[in-house]
Amino acid sequence: MANEANPCPCDIGHKLEYGGMGQEVQVEHIKAYITRSPVDEGKAVIIIQDIFGWQLPNTRYMADMIAGNRYTTIVPDFFVGREPWDPAADWSTFPEWIKSRNPREVNREVEAVLRYLKQQCHAQKIGIVGFCWGGAAVHHVMLTYPEVRAGVSVYGIIRDTEGIYNLKNPTLFIFAENDTVIPLEQVSVLTQKLKKHCIVNYQVKTFSGQTHGFVHRKREDCSPADKPYIEEARRNLIEWLNKFI
């Protein structure tokens, strides 16, 4: 996702070759990729895609990783059949492309997925994780749905408007120090406003030397220097879900 003041697409980075452990299902008006937990404990996590769509292997890899920690995970198509961003497309067309894909206009899809998880998967405790575009959507969900017990927004765009700091439940924000999409000044403002207005648990964590997309789009072995940060961020994500779901 891009800075709303100067929108431009982010780099797809390292696209994994990964088939997935789950299956595709129909959830009311949208398709989704679901991976069942190996142990049914009534816990589920919704995973929200980045601009490259719900079928990106990297996002499915993250969903399967989370599922391995005793959660049923689901990656719905929050673009509702509309095409994801094509990395080969002309970047000048991105502002027009994103107009029909507002990360804060996802309520119909969120509610459909919540119904599915409760009725079909018998989920009693639900969390949410999102990357890039999905990180912004997670922020919106955590302001809107108190039934979602925990959220993790991973390099989600920050929109400084009134009312975006009253989180309903614990939320972890993960950012990258060298993110050309989200300036550190925006992260600082978010931190200050949350400290002033937020009454639930939250954490804002910035990873030194990392760039946009490092958590889910970098291969673990792409750089020995980066690997500890990727592993730490993924571990923090799981720990947050475990603590609050």
Active site residue: 139, 179, 216, 226, which one? Answer: 179
Question: ∠ CA 39-44-50 to the nearest 5 degrees?
Answer: 125
Active site residue: 139, 140, 212, 216, which one? Answer: 212
Q: Are 204 and 189 in contact (CB under 8 A)?
A: no
User: Which residues have a Cβ under 8 Å from the Cβ of 69 and sit 6 or more positions away?
Assistant: 238, 241, 242
Q: Are 132 and 10 in contact (CB under 8 A)?
A: yes
CA dist list (Å): 107 to 16, 101, 120: 30, 13, 19
Q: In the β-sheet with 23-27, what is the strand arrangement from edge to edge? A: 23-27, 30-35, 72-76, 43-48, 125-131, 148-154, 171-176, 202-207
| 212 annotated active-site | yes
d(CA 139, CA 159): 10
d(CA 164, CA 199): 13
Active site residue: 10, 77, 132, 216, which one? Answer: 132
DSSP for 27-77, please give it.
ETTEEEEEE--SS--SEEEEEE--TT-TT-HHHHHHHHHHHTTT-EEEEE-
Q: At what angle do helices 227-244 and 57-67 cross, to 10 degrees?
A: 50
Q: What tokens does 74 get?
A: 């689901």
* Residues taking part in catalysis: 132, 179, 212
